[in-house]
Amino acid sequence: MRQDDERGGPSAPLPPFHDDLVAAQAELWRLLADGVAHGRSPFHTPSLATVDGQGRPRARTVVLRMVDAEAGLLRFHCDRRSDKAAELARHASCALHAYDRQAKVQIRIEGRASLHTFDATAEAAWAGSRAMSRVCYGIDPRPGTGLAAGGAYAVPDEAEAPTVGRPNFCAVAVEAEALDFLYLDRRGHRRAAWRRERDGWTGTWLVP
Ligand SMILES: Cc1cc2nc3c(=O)[nH]c(=O)nc-3n(C[C@H](O)[C@H](O)[C@H](O)COP(=O)(O)O)c2cc1C
């Protein structure tokens, strides 16, 4: 860890979660919820890692749409014709990662994804989506198709999105199974991790 990535001069108070495992997990969920609400937060756009059919890792950016700290759930949206949807349908294990340079916090989440296309979860997520987001799901041909020219694809207008885009819309719920929280401070980095057990989260401090 580089020196300029570390905050905490001698006079700056240590954050309340510095030596409090419960508070550290609360901070993790608070930062994720802030990421859902605010596009400026790095936690708004985490990297999602999946595993492809050959067991190779694949990563890309997604927009974090919802977190539920009580249930340990996160949600993002994608096109059900996309590679990531196919990879998650085949192999539900996935990971989300983001680093907030201002907060000096890295969050890593491992869990299992479930794809929602035509159930109540998907309907509610579609209803809560903005028109400019909805049109993306009507893109033709499917995401990842090779093109003869960069612009040789079509996007529906907003009026068509409910009929053209809705069938391709997929809400992905990730049930977190493991959480990893790293806070950088030159007076002492702190790393905490939790695993989901039958009765809730079991956490421990780790060597950073
Ligand atoms: C800032 C940003 C936000 C993005 N948000 C999403 C998203 O919420 N859902 C999504 O499917 N793709 C999103 N993308 C595009 C993906 O990162 C990726 O390029 C695309 O979905 C194809 O990924 P795949 O082939 O792994 O399915 C976003 C990209 C950027 C740069």
Q: Which residues are within 8 A (CB) of 54 and not within 5 positions of it... i.e. 6 or more apart?
A: none
Q: Is 88 in the pocket of ligand 1 (CB under 6 A)?
A: no
- Calpha distance 15→188 (Å, rounded): 12
Backbone angles phi, psi at 77, to 5 degrees: -120, 150
Tell me, using a 6 A CB cutoff, whether residue 83 lines ligand 1: yes
Asked if 17 and 27 touch (Cβ cutoff 8 Å), the reply is: yes
Query: Domain-by-domain residue ranges, the chain?
Result: 3-8+17-206
Please tell me the distance between residue 4's alpha carbon and the centre of ligand 1 in angstroms.
Answer: 30
Residue-wise pLDDT tens for the chain (208 aa)? 544 445 555 678 999 999 999 999 999 999 999 999 999 999 999 999 999 999 999 999 999 999 999 999 999 999 999 999 999 999 999 999 999 999 999 999 999 999 999 999 999 999 999 988 999 999 999 999 999 999 999 999 888 878 889 999 999 999 999 999 999 999 999 999 999 999 999 999 999 9
84 close to ligand 1 (CB < 6 Angstrom): yes
> What is the pTM for the complete model shown?
0.94
* Domain covering 3-8+17-206: architecture: Roll (2.30)
